Amino acid sequence: MKKVELVWKHPFSPYARINQVPIDQIRQKLIEVFNKWGKAGCFRVDNGEPFGSPAGAPTPPLALWLIAHDIDLTWNKPYCPQMNNRVEKMQDTTQRWAEVQACRCLQELQAKLDAQIHIQRQLYPVTRLEGKTRAMAFPELITKQRVFSSKDFDSKRVHEFIAKKIYTRKVSSVGQITHFGQTIRVGKEFAHQFVQLKFKPDTLKWQISNSTQIIKNIADNCLTDDRIKNMTVFSKQKNQSN
């Protein structure tokens, strides 16, 4: 008897998870949201891509792009969704109100979500807000929006953010490390040792050291305007030795 495999496909998206969506598409949707509702002041995100990363991994390029546009990020602790409990609850409520599972197509889903969001924001009285709607209680969300503009981009914000971090790498048997897509020669005399890298925003160099000495300073070519804008900070590059 021939075996038949059943493959489930999501009716609304070709992607099963948000971290499978190309970051260019996510960025474009963020820009659309900013143009409609104003630029966010801060994102609270979890530790998964595209905004977060596992412990010890570099900050994702989309997060660096947001930081360069003067949008702060607050990362939840790993495996602590309760730190974002209001958002999680809001998503659950919106999903139930819109009866997402009963929607037959993307257009119907979007129409129902738009309707329920309007009710939740403009019409629904909230007890803890003394019976006011959210729109009545927080009018500045509509009247005092931050304007999004590509002219607000400033790579110095990323430099200052990265400068607060220390990255640990293990030197290979041939005296090299890999960092931000770069293969860097540290020296065979440091083979199998752990070294630390710290970014110096005033000189735009990476300082490489171990527990006893500063080994060398390497000029950065990852955190440039173009690479941050194009979200290619971690693309592979040629070897560096000095």
| Structure confidence at residue 240 (pLDDT) | 56
pLDDT tens column, 153-203: 999 999 999 999 999 999 999 999 999 988 999 999 999 999 999 999 999
| Structure confidence at residue 176 (pLDDT) | 96
Q: What pTM, to 2 d.p., does this model score? A: 0.84
Closest by CA position to 59, among listed 167, 170, 156, 154? 167
Confidence of residue 144 (pLDDT cuts 50, 70, 90): confident
Give the integer Cα–Cα distance in Å for 99 and 113. 9
Output the furthest CA–CA distance in the chain (Å, rounded): 70
Looking at residues 108-129, what average pLDDT do you find? 92
pLDDT at 44 over 80: yes
Domain 154-230 fold is OB fold (Dihydrolipoamide Acetyltransferase, E2P) (2.40.50)
- Both tokens assigned to 63: 């997060």
pLDDT at 108 over 50: yes
Neighbours of 99 (CB within 10 A): 12
The one-letter code for the residue type at 18 is: I
| Structure confidence at residue 55 (pLDDT) | 58
- Which residues have a Cβ under 8 Å from the Cβ of 106 and sit 6 or more positions away? 11, 12
pLDDT tens column, 1-23: 444 444 434 566 788 888 889 99
CATH no. of 20-151: 3.30.420.10
| Structure confidence at residue 5 (pLDDT) | 45
| Secondary structure (DSSP) of 26-92 | HHHHHHHHHHHH---SEEEE-SSTTT---TTSPPPHHHHHHHHTT-EEEEPPTT-GGGGHHHHHHHH
- Both tokens assigned to 40: 């966010």
Domain ranges of the chain: 20-151, 154-230
Confidence of residue 104 (pLDDT cuts 50, 70, 90): confident
pLDDT at 84 over 90: no
